[in-house]
Amino acid sequence: MFSTKKRLSLFAVVGSVVAIVAVAASPPPPASAGTNIVGTWRLNLSGQFPDFFGLMVLHHDKTMMAVNDNPTESGGIGVWERIRGDDPPNFAVTFESWVDEDFNGIADFRFQVRLTLHVDGDTMTGTGAIDIYNVAGTELLFSLPDFIVEATRMTVIPE
Domain spans, the chain:
39-153
Query: pLDDT (tens digit, 9 = 90+) per residue, 68-107?
Result: 998 899 999 999 999 976 667 799 999 999 999 999 999 9
Model confidence band, residue 50 (pLDDT cutoffs 50, 70, 90): confident
Task: Name the strand (E) or helix (H) holding 54.
Answer: strand 52-58
What's the confidence (pLDDT) of residue 71? 87
Per the DSSP assignment, residues forming a β-bridge with 110 are 98, 133
What's the confidence (pLDDT) of residue 86? 61
The reported pTM is 0.75
Instruction: Determine the length of the chain.
Output: 159
Does the pLDDT of residue 17 top 90, yes or no? no
What's the confidence (pLDDT) of residue 112? 96
Q: Write the burial class of residue 55 (CB in 10 Å: 0-12 exposed, 13-18 middle, 19+ buried).
A: middle
Model confidence band, residue 11 (pLDDT cutoffs 50, 70, 90): very low
What's the confidence (pLDDT) of residue 34? 63
Task: Name the strand (E) or helix (H) holding 107.
Answer: none
Pick the closest to residue 54 from 77, 70, 38 (CA basis).
Answer: 70
Does the pLDDT of residue 148 top 80, yes or no? yes
We find that the CATH architecture of domain 39-153 is: Beta Barrel (2.40)
Query: Which residues, other chains included, contact 89 with Cβ-Cβ below 8 Å and sequence gap of 6+?
Result: 35, 82, 83, 118, 119
Q: How many helices (H) and strands (E) does the chain have?
A: 1, 8
Distances in whole angstroms, Cα of residue 141 to Cα of each of 41, 49, 78: 29, 16, 21
The C-alpha R_g of the chain, in whole angstroms, comes to 22
